Amino acid sequence: MTAPALLPLGSTLNVLRPHPNVFAFYDGRIPGARAHSAAPNWLDDGAYALGVCVYAVVAGHEAIVYDTNISLTHARMMRAALAEAGVTSIRVVLSHWHDDHVAGNEVFADCEIIALDLTQKALAAHREEMETASPPIKPLVMPNRIITGPTELWVGPIKVELEPAEIHSHDGLILLLPQLGIMLAGDTLEEPITYVAEPERLGVHVEELKRIRAWGYPRILPNHGARDVIAAGGYGPELIDATIRYVKKLLRTRTDMSLADQDLSTFIAEDIASGTLSYFAPYEEVHANNVKQVLALPPS
């Protein structure tokens, strides 16, 4: 068995432009490659292997950065790319509290860092483990502007709506660009499948997915997805429908063990066949863990 290639951190970062006003900083999803260590770690196993993308909405000299990426190196490269594009004023919005979305906060410590109150509380509660993780996020720079609900911002003439949504994590915050018809989804949507972090809340997640589907956004840019799809402008609303089907089917594994025994390619076979989802082998492990978490829930 060939040992994984350890590539220099940031050396495979791509700057994509899914829309003239949106920068997408994409890294990972490179078979046989890792960026931090051959040993298990959150950066490689939870982000780089699956592909990770964070975004900046840009108009003139202003930008809103949506998440700060998986390392300080990545964050510095993002900031350099934005400066080269003429950006002199940056605000940051955090989609939720997980490591791979806040690891670059220190690079933006001189900026306004906006987050939900729920995100601030989760970061404070998990600060010690995040600062001692592999790799460590130390110091963990905290948000400095706390919001408690839907919030409206502007980047030049572009309206930006921040909308809380409890999907994947209890503190999800989606960034909407209504004039452009674009939803920056954070981890509330992921392709091919959602990463179950809070299994006891999956029923709520389904209802929240239905709610965001009703918003009618034609283009969706998730933080984990296929590079080529993101580069071409993102996913359509059918990604939300596929996610609803997946989560509902996951919940049915509690009463149908034949579903629990299916590998990912079988579990989402219909959506792969229709072209709604694309199969990506590293998500087999994600799916197996999702099933394990659902089966471990106490009887309802």
Domains of the chain are 5-295 (3.60.15.10)
SS3 255: coil
- Closest listed residue to residue 26, CA positions, set 9, 59, 48, 57: 48
The model's pTM is 0.97
Beta partners for residue 66, in sequence order? 55, 93
Spans of the chain, pLDDT less than 50: none
- Which amino acid appears at position 142 of this protein? M
Q: Nearest 10 degrees: CA dihedral of 76, 192, 94, 220?
A: 100
What pLDDT, on a 0 to 100 scale, did the predictor assign at position 1?
Answer: 54
Contact 283, 249 (CB under 8 A): no
Contact 219, 181 (CB under 8 A): yes
153: phi then psi, degrees, rounded to nearest 5: -130, 170
What pLDDT, on a 0 to 100 scale, did the predictor assign at position 46?
Answer: 87
What pLDDT, on a 0 to 100 scale, did the predictor assign at position 51?
Answer: 97
44: phi then psi, degrees, rounded to nearest 5: -75, -50
Beta partners for residue 145, in sequence order? 114
What pLDDT, on a 0 to 100 scale, did the predictor assign at position 2?
Answer: 67
* Gyration radius of the chain's alpha carbons: 18
What pLDDT, on a 0 to 100 scale, did the predictor assign at position 300?
Answer: 72
- Closest listed residue to residue 233, CA positions, set 72, 28, 34, 20: 20
What pLDDT, on a 0 to 100 scale, did the predictor assign at position 210?
Answer: 98
Contact 243, 209 (CB under 8 A): yes
48: phi then psi, degrees, rounded to nearest 5: -60, -45
The distance from CA 115 to its chain's CA centroid, rounded to whole angstroms, is 15
